[in-house]
Amino acid sequence: MARVMNFNPGPATLPLAALERAQSEFLDIAGSGMSVMEHSHRGKVYEAVHNEAIALVEELLAVPDTHAVLLLQGGASQQFATVPMNFLGADQSADYVVTGSWSKKAVSEAKIVGKVNIACDVGKDGKFTRIPKQEELKLDPNAAYVHITTNNTIAGSQWMSYPDTGSVPLIADMSSDIMWRPLDVSKFGLIYAGAQKNIGPSGLTLVIVDKALVAKGRTDIPNIFRYSTHVDNNSLYNTVPTFPVYMLRNVMAAVKEAGGLAAMEKQNLAKAELLYSAIDGSDGFYRCPVEAGSRSVMNVVFNLPTPEQEADFVAKATAKGLVGLKGHRSVGGIRASIYNAAPLAWVEALVSFMKEYK
């Protein structure tokens, strides 16, 4: 059996070490005679896995004591709803910066809960090809929070530095770029990420939240939707997705072993640089629609001269073991998702295929 070079956008490739560890522990974890999936979420064996997963997230991201790490269900899409449910009061408004389809979805959900101010929409004139500058943001100093999407998985753009929101809490959907490099968590009121892009399998959502913000959250919503419920119960209010948490633990351990987030950053920048250079140096055969300075290090999107050539490119690449390169159905083109777990060698193979195909 040969494993392919997997450029899927999500669920996405996972570190081989994390998968092999799961394989070796699958039938019997910690000498307990059963799989982690068969353990009670309140038992000692699972509890050790749960707390280790949280501790590794805290260590890798240097999460300050002011913030809590939560392991939840419902995906990033549920966070689109729970963020405003908790923090958008009836007489308030929240600022949203729209940089792609996922930001738009976050806005639609927030609008059901309360008042939304679009601080900036870079896709107003058609396509999402850039990240706005600070001066373009029409921020409301009295906003409940400011919401951004740090990496636009479909459009292929990414915030390289985050906006200054003054005393207004900054809330970020980091689903597709959390842990791509070290991060100053203290700058954020809340960070959320569906695990299935850069840190684990689907079924698990990582949330990192300022406990002072949680304390001010609304209490007129059901317990299950309140961040305070999950902070108070160490994410064990109800049954957690134990196997995805176990896999997150394995991925975090593999990332740590590989040198942590500084090593991830170095490798991710090298991969992106190699791929964008191949696109820009192709005499216009390959074209990246995203402006320089806004280009994503995680999801590299590009076009060929025609949609027919794009389909042919994907088919021929797949035949060579380079899979998952088809762009999102809403935008077409090619997308190479090169998350932490995609090694430089895969990008080298892709670049050499691109030269040969051209």
Ligand X SMILES: *Cc1c(COP(=O)(O)O)cnc(C)c1O
Q: Work out the burial of residue 15: count CB atoms within 10 Å of its CB; fewer than 13 is exposed, 13-18 middle, 19 or more buried.
A: buried
DSSP 8-class letter at 287: B
Dihedral sign for Cα 10, 14, 19, 22, please.
Answer: negative
Q: Does 10 bind ligand X (CB under 6 A)?
A: yes
Residue selected from 102, 286, 313, 346 as contacting ligand X according to rule CB under 6 A: 102
CB atoms within 10 A of CB 31: 6
- Exactly one of 95, 102, 271, 326 is catalytic; which is it? 102
Q: Does 201 bind ligand X (CB under 6 A)?
A: no
Chain residues 301-330 in contact with ligand X, contact rule CB under 6 A? none
Taking the complex as a whole, how short is the minimal distance between the CB of residue 79 and ligand X, in angstroms?
8
**CB contact set of 247 (below 8 Å; sequence gap of 6+):** 14, 18, 22, 200, 201, 204
Which uninterrupted H or E stretch holds 276?
Answer: helix 260-280
Taking the complex as a whole, how short is the minimal distance between the CB of residue 15 and ligand X, in angstroms?
19
Q: Establish whether 102 is a catalytic residue.
A: yes
Q: Does 198 bind ligand X (CB under 6 A)?
A: no
Residue 330 tokens read as 């809403």
Residue 254 tokens read as 């593999």
Taking the complex as a whole, how short is the minimal distance between the CB of residue 65 and ligand X, in angstroms?
28
CB atoms within 10 A of CB 274: 16
> By C-beta, is 95 or 173 nearer to ligand X?
173
* SS3 state of residue 275: helix
Cα of 206 vs its chain's centroid, Å:
9
Taking the complex as a whole, how short is the minimal distance between the CB of residue 306 and ligand X, in angstroms?
28
Q: Does 173 bind ligand X (CB under 6 A)?
A: yes
DSSP string, 187-217: G-SEEEEETTTTTS-TT-EEEEEEHHHHHTS
Taking the complex as a whole, how short is the minimal distance between the CB of residue 315 and ligand X, in angstroms?
25
Q: Does 203 bind ligand X (CB under 6 A)?
A: no
Q: From residue 55 to residue 94, what is the string marking binding to ligand X with x (rule CB under 6 A)?
A: --------------------xxx-----------------
- Identify whether the C-beta of residue 10 lies closer than 8 Å to the C-beta of residue 75: no
Judged by CB under 6 A, the stretch of 39-47, 170-178, 247-255, 274-282 that binds ligand X is 170-178
- Exactly one of 177, 197, 271, 346 is catalytic; which is it? 197
> By C-beta, is 103 or 303 nearer to ligand X?
103
Q: Which residues bind ligand X (CB under 6 A)?
A: 10, 75-77, 102, 149, 153, 173, 175-176, 194, 197
Catalytic residues: 102, 173, 197
